[in-house]
């Protein structure tokens, strides 16, 4: 139970870029869902006290939802009182409007979270937001609701309780919606099918992946084309599954020898026909190759290793190496193709070393990391150096949230957009100039 919610954040796989500007961050883990920013010309080193803090917003409410940033506007979710909202801020951190999503999900003995944990997805003039109780809301850029669907009532959704939480609900819905053309891809889970494709303009169900009926995890779907076939890839407690984008038919299912025995949250990484996935405190990682011939697919395990085991902070692929935060221990670097042990020696002076978690994104030759020390958020800039842990700069967040639950932490992933770094600790959103 102690580790279960740490992996909640919705946290997670590759989608095709949306029709947005090069500097935008329109969805979970950025334009391509790989935690890579297209930014250039960023600061190579920060001042001693950190980069310039441009503004702070202190009414974001409770939750770990990450921001989407498009056209200089910041789209976020948070719980205010007993209700979850989608809201948008302008370039100066002023709230423009808010839209109701639904009631907060909570339960007795929940010491980890309260509020939404997914990231809104922005596509043209539409925004898609998923609340923790499974209310999926579509609003336009003026805040007017276009349609809504309940993952529970309308789609019969169910969440895996491996890792804790009430039956069928776990820690609440935490994946982030994926837009692919006219389809909006969701992960309700359950007997009607793990994944669902909705018409993004109406919410009408196009298909369900009835061939795979696993309960949903907290991981988000990604889009890939393998063997000439477009498909969606989803992490489950058992492993990884690929379904056809046109129909939802199951194309392949890789089942690990040892299923992940805690919450599954991180977004898998993909390069070519190889897919890397990690989850849970001690579940380790797997690299598979999805082979295709004659329209048929066969997943083959290349390796499974103890490193890296990521709660919810995600992993990033830079060059030939995977970077992330390993369990309760330290930042880690692993060879993508070969696996093996952590290439970095443990460093007790590293950013948030020994703490519960760390998240990261990549931009302009640097890793931008967020961790915590003694419950206080600490941001850092690392060089993606496979030879050793190389920290360039760090600073401490100026304020600590009073809304966190007893075992809650600083778990929202950092975001970089248009020369700004966005960091969150519950009700506080900090915007830093890093260009």
Secondary structure (DSSP) of 267-283: PPEEETTEEEEE-TTT-
- The distance of Cα 89 from the centroid of its chain, to the nearest Å, equals 21
Across 39-66, average pLDDT: 97
Q: Give yes or no for residue 15 having a pLDDT over 70.
A: no
Per-residue confidence at 355, pLDDT binned at 50, 70, 90?
confident
d(CA 226, CA 203): 27
Confidence of residue 20 (pLDDT cuts 50, 70, 90): low
What integer is the mean pLDDT of 3-27? 54
Of 21-25, 33-37, 427-431, the one with minimum mean pLDDT is 21-25
Residue 281 has pLDDT above 80, yes or no: no
pLDDT digit string, tens, across residues 127-185: 999 999 999 999 999 999 999 999 999 999 999 999 999 999 999 999 999 999 999 99
Between the alpha carbon of residue 397 and those of residues 17, 22, 285, 313, the distances in Å are: 31, 28, 31, 18
With 60 as the cut, is the pLDDT of residue 4 above it? Answer: no
Owning domain of residue 193? 4-433
CA distances from 79 to 49, 76, 95, 131, 218 (A): 31, 11, 15, 9, 19
Residue pLDDT, tens place only, 389-399:
999 999 999 99
Q: How far apart are CA 29 and CA 281, in angstroms?
A: 21
Number of neighbouring beta carbons within 10 Å of residue 90: 12
Instruction: Determine the pLDDT at residue 2.
Output: 41
Quote the mean pLDDT of the chain. 93
Q: What is the pLDDT of residue 14?
A: 33
Model's pTM, two decimal places? 0.94
Residue percentage of the chain with pLDDT more than 70? 95
Q: Which two tokens stand for residue 277?
A: 């996935």
The tens digit of pLDDT for each residue in 63-118 reads 999 999 999 999 999 999 999 999 999 999 999 999 999 999 999 999 999 999 99
pLDDT for the residue 3: 44
Report the number of distinct structural domains present in the chain. 1
The CATH number for 62's domain is 2.130.10.10
Is-contact 212 253, C-beta < 8 A?
yes
Reported confidence tier of residue 1, pLDDT bands at 50, 70, 90: very low
pLDDT tens for 193-220 read 999 999 999 999 999 999 999 999 999 9
Percent helix, percent strand, percent coil in the chain, to nearest 5: 0, 45, 55
């Amino acid at each position: 139970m102690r580790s279960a919610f740490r992996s909640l954040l919705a946290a997670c796989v590759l989608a095709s870029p949306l029709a947005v500007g090069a500097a935008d961050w329109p969805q979970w883990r950025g334009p391509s869902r790989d935690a890579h920013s297209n930014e250039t010309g960023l600061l190579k080193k920060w001042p001693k006290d950190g980069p310039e803090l441009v503004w702070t917003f202190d009414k974001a409410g409770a939750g770990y939802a990450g921001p989407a940033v498009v056209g200089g506007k910041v789209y976020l979710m948070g719980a205010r009182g007993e209700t979850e909202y989608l809201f948008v801020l302008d370039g100066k951190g002023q709230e423009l409007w808010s839209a109701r999503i639904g009631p907060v999900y909570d339960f007795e003995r929940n010491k980890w979270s309260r509020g939404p944990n997914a990231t809104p997805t922005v596509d043209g003039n539409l925004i898609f937001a998923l609340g923790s109780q499974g209310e999926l809301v579509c609003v336009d850029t003026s805040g007017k609701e276009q349609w809504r669907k309940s993952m529970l009532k309308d789609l019969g959704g169910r969440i895996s309780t491996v890792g804790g939480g009430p039956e069928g609900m776990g820690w609440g819905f935490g994946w982030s919606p994926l837009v692919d053309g006219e389809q909006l891809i969701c992960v309700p889970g359950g007997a009607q099918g793990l994944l669902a494709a909705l018409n993004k303009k109406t919410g009408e169900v196009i298909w369900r992946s009835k061939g795979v009926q696993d309960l949903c995890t907290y991981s988000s779907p990604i889009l890939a084309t393998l063997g000439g076939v477009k498909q969606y890839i989803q992490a489950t407690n058992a492993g990884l599954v690929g379904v056809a984008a046109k129909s939802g038919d199951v194309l392949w299912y890789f089942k690990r020898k040892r299923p992940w025995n805690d919450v599954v949250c991180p977004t898998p990484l993909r390069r070519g026909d190889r897919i890397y996935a990690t989850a849970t405190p001690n579940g380790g990682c797997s690299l598979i190759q999805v082979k295709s011939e004659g329209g048929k697919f066969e997943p083959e395990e290349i390796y499974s290793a103890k490193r890296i085991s990521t709660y919810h902070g995600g992993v990033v692929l830079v060059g030939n190496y995977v970077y992330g935060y390993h369990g309760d221990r330290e930042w880690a670097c692993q060879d993508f193709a070969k696996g093996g042990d952590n290439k970095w020696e443990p460093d007790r002076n590293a950013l948030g070393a020994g703490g519960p978690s760390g998240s990261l994104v990549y931009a302009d030759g640097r890793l931008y990391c967020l961790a915590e020390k003694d419950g206080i958020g600490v941001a850092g800039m690392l060089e993606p150096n496979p030879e050793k842990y190389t920290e360039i700069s760090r600073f401490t967040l100026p304020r600590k949230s009073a809304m966190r639950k007893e075992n809650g932490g600083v778990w929202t992933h950092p975001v970089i957009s248009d020369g700004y770094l966005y960091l969150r600790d519950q009700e506080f959103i900090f915007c830093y100039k890093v260009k």
